[in-house]
Chains A and B, each alone.
Chain A
């Protein structure tokens, strides 16, 4: 049995109603992510990286190929794969505590136990004291912290993050990136992080997978051996970091389209 996520020859073709043509979003994608790894998937916009994530999450079905998570074939969405959305997708009618405890509630965990675990993860993302607030009372950055805590509290085998920090301001984004690396170093969840931001991809991950322009194919995989803990303060002047960013950037920019 293979551990982690295994994707073999995955393709997705859409039928475009307007042009009446079949459009390949991703083509023959094969990749592996081991348990405890932090992998960024990077590609130009429209390269099908969100399609790839949606297939792994089980929201849409692939045209060909298969996906195994810890040896099990993926079929439809499930709590083994937690998703953090760009739009946060919090439940506005639930407090922070109840948002974070949602997955546990669905599993039938009793209320006192559920609240205890939810409080632990709310503290982990630095939101103590906000347990009884509603999402609309929080800033964008705080809302996405809730989004991360909600998924972590459910203890998934794989964390899927779809450009989660793309809709927060630049300063907040850097803070959230640093905190995500801190949480990863602390708990070692398996993370697949989708982004179009080269620096973000390199800063966060152990490995960056670069996709080509549409149809998305795996163009190259780059190992990121930068020391941890990582902080923007240190890496912004770091030669190794800058070199990696330049290399990845050239791959993305020269991607045939």
Chain B
């Protein structure tokens, strides 16, 4: 045994088990939150702030159980996720083809680009007053806001992606007998996919935040509504619970949906851009 190894770090059976545990996905994901929750708990136990304003982890867990038991949390969660899925779906269905169009067609780019920039500047929330008059407190209003938020990053990144495809690759496809429609499907879309996925990731991230903001203002149901509604009862516990749910849900979408898509495509093809 080398003298450089400090006492107590010899690779014992316990050490191996500890390392194996540390390498499991659950521990790797949740591990970093342990000190945060511990610090939270300590501050609460020190009694610096009144319990009603600054509840501890146990109250939040209890509230989670209570709201889940009553069915409020699952119902609101389902509402929020449905809105996000519908909005993101419509946003992608419009944004990707439109991004391809402005990315590939110079005249379309010249015509549409000023319009795109103009409407991008009008933030999603700025549409809410007029949307509430037009559509009221409905799913249409919510969907519009989410679509509006998702669509711009998707358009920008898709257009960037098709422009970054090397000219030789397109020439190769043409001289191998591919017609323009096949080039679009066989070369343009897979070639732009790394950028399209980046656009989706940004778009969904913004969309998720826009959704919560819209739920607070439109306020009929959903996680955002639950948090804002808790203000009337003065229930800080529910607000914190809502915040935690938002964070967890986004992590699940990112790690459970976008991550695997990325690994199955652009990482497999060696298209990830290496940093540094």
Q: Is the CB of A93 within 8 A of B190?
A: yes
Q: Please name all residues of chain B whose beta carbon is closer than 8 Å to the beta carbon of A92 when the two chains form the complex.
A: 269-271
Q: Is the CB of A91 within 8 A of B166?
A: no
Asked if A57 meets B171 with Cβ closer than 8 Å, knowing A93-B190, A103-B177, A154-B176, the reply is yes
5 nearest A-B pairs in the assembled complex, by CB-CB distance? A136-B270, A79-B177, A89-B168, A103-B176, A77-B174
Task: Summarize B's interface: helix, strand, loop or mixed.
Answer: helix
Can you list 9 residue pairs at the A/B interface with Cβ under 8 Å?
Answer: A58-B175, A59-B174, A77-B174, A82-B176, A83-B172, A85-B172, A93-B271, A134-B268, A150-B176
Partner of A89, one of B166, B178, B270: B166
Interface size on A (CB < 8 Å)?
28
What is the minimal beta-carbon distance from A154 to any residue of chain B, in angstroms?
A: 6
A135 close to B (CB within 8 Å): yes
A102 close to B (CB within 8 Å): yes
* Range for the number of chain B residues in contact with chain A: 20 to 34
A107 close to B (CB within 8 Å): yes
A87 close to B (CB within 8 Å): yes
Q: Is the CB of B178 within 8 A of A106?
A: yes
Q: Please name all residues of chain A whose beta carbon is closer than 8 Å to the beta carbon of B270 when the two chains form the complex.
A: 92, 134-137
A135 to B270, CA, bound (A): 8
A83 to B270, CA, bound (A): 24
A145 to B270, CA, bound (A): 19
Chain B residue with minimal CB distance to A81?
B175
A91 to B189, CA, bound (A): 12
Q: Is the CB of B166 within 8 A of A87?
A: yes
What is the minimal beta-carbon distance from B49 to any residue of chain A, in angstroms?
A: 55
What is the number of contacts between chain A and chain B, taking CB atoms within 8 Å? 74
Q: Please name all residues of chain B whose beta carbon is closer than 8 Å to the beta carbon of A81 when the two chains form the complex.
A: 175
What is the minimal beta-carbon distance from A74 to any residue of chain B, in angstroms?
A: 12
Q: Please name all residues of chain B whose beta carbon is closer than 8 Å to the beta carbon of A46 when the two chains form the complex.
A: none
What is the minimal beta-carbon distance from B258 to any residue of chain A, in angstroms?
A: 18
Asked if A91 meets B187 with Cβ closer than 8 Å, knowing A83-B171, A134-B268, A134-B269, the reply is yes
B173 close to A (CB within 8 Å): yes
A137 to B172, CA, bound (A): 20
Chain A residue with minimal CB distance to B270?
A136
What is the minimal beta-carbon distance from B179 to any residue of chain A, in angstroms?
A: 8
Q: Is the CB of A77 within 8 A of B175?
A: yes
Q: Please name all residues of chain B whose beta carbon is closer than 8 Å to the beta carbon of A78 when the two chains form the complex.
A: 174-175, 177
B19 close to A (CB within 8 Å): no
B169 close to A (CB within 8 Å): yes
Q: In chain A, residues 129-150, which have Cβ atoms closer than 8 Å to a Cβ of chain B? A: 134-137, 150
Q: Is the CB of A59 within 8 A of B171?
A: yes
Q: Is the CB of A93 within 8 A of B269?
A: yes
What is the minimal beta-carbon distance from B150 to any residue of chain A, in angstroms?
A: 25
A226 to B171, CA, bound (A): 34
CB 8 Å contact bits of A63-80 with B (1 = contact, 0 = none): 000000000000011110
What is the minimal beta-carbon distance from A166 to any residue of chain B, in angstroms?
A: 13
Q: Is the CB of A89 within 8 A of B172?
A: yes
Q: Please name all residues of chain A whose beta carbon is closer than 8 Å to the beta carbon of B186 when the two chains form the complex.
A: 91, 102
A91 to B174, CA, bound (A): 13
B265 close to A (CB within 8 Å): yes
CB 8 Å contact bits of B179-191 with A (1 = contact, 0 = none): 1001000110011
Chain B residue with minimal CB distance to A107?
B177
Known: A89-B169, A106-B176. 12 other contacts (CB 8 A): A58-B174, A77-B171, A77-B174, A78-B177, A85-B171, A91-B190, A93-B191, A93-B193, A102-B173, A102-B178, A106-B178, A137-B270
Chain B residue with minimal CB distance to A102?
B176
Chain A residue with minimal CB distance to B176?
A103
Partner of A91, one of B169, B265, B268: B169
Q: Please name all residues of chain A whose beta carbon is closer than 8 Å to the beta carbon of B265 when the two chains form the complex.
A: 93
Q: Please name all residues of chain A whose beta carbon is closer than 8 Å to the beta carbon of B269 when the two chains form the complex.
A: 92-93, 134, 136
Q: Please name all residues of chain B whose beta carbon is closer than 8 Å to the beta carbon of A103 when the two chains form the complex.
A: 176-177
Q: Please name all residues of chain B whose beta carbon is closer than 8 Å to the beta carbon of A82 when the two chains form the complex.
A: 175-176
What is the minimal beta-carbon distance from B18 to any residue of chain A, in angstroms?
A: 35
